[in-house]
């Protein structure tokens, strides 16, 4: 995988921190190593099954930093985000027919749940005094 041109887009002038670039570089290197171990040489060979196997691989890897086995959900999300962004970049720049397999994955535990959740009365009671605008306090009180 040629990732240097993609990584060069992850600059502070484009709104990315140096830490994001370093993390994405590490994530894509890990993914490339996994693909090589699976004898996968082209991005067009990567499908949802390969991505699922990569998730399983991350879940079973030794994690010496946390003295446990497997990556935490946040790390898996970030790695999948890096892979997805790389697929989108490659599709936009060199291979318009490339399909991003990360976007086809079913929702799993490690995926962030962005569905709205109800807020209990105690939380609202604690939150409302911190709202200084009369209009906003009124809107919160409707719930």
Concatenated DSSP letters of 100-137: -GGGGPPP-TTS---S-----HHHHHHHGGG---HHHH
Rounded Cα distance, 36 and 40, in Å: 6
Alpha-carbon torsion 101, 1, 12, 91, what sign?
negative
Question: What are the pLDDT digits (tens) for 1-40?
Answer: 789 999 999 999 989 999 999 999 999 999 999 999 999 9
Question: Across residues 61-79, what is the average pLDDT?
Answer: 78
| pLDDT higher at 13 or 136 | 13
How confident is the model at residue 9, as a pLDDT?
94
| pLDDT band, very low/low/confident/very high, at 66 (cuts 50, 70, 90) | low
Q: Is residue 82's pLDDT more than 90?
A: yes
pLDDT recorded at residue 122: 83
Q: pLDDT band for 51, please (50, 70, 90 cuts).
A: very high
Give the integer Cα–Cα distance in Å for 113 and 103: 15
Residue 116 CB-half CA count within 13 A = 3
Per-residue model confidence as pLDDT tens digits over 85-126 = 999 999 999 999 999 999 988 866 555 556 667 777 788 778
Quote the strand ranges of the chain, DSSP E. 62-63, 68-69
Tokens of 102: 């990360």
At residue 131 the predicted structure's pLDDT band, cuts being 50, 70 and 90, is: confident
Residue 45 has pLDDT above 70, yes or no: yes
């Amino acid at each position: 995988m040629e990732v240097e041109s993609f990584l060069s887009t992850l600059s502070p002038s484009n709104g990315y921190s140096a830490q994001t670039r370093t993390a994405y570089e590490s994530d894509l290197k890990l993914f490339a190593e996994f693909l090589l171990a699976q004898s996968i040489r082209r991005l067009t060979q990567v499908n949802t099954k390969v991505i699922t196997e990569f998730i399983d691989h991350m879940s079973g890897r030794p994690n010496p930093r946390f003295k446990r086995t497997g990556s935490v959900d946040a790390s898996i999300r970030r790695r999948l985000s890096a892979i997805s962004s790389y697929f989108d970049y490659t599709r936009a720049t060199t291979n318009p027919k490339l399909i991003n397999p990360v976007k086809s994955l079913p929702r799993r535990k490690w995926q962030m749940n962005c569905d709205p959740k109800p807020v209990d009365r105690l939380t609202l009671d604690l939150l409302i005094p911190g709202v200084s605008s009369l209009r906003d306090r009124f809107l919160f009180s409707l719930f």
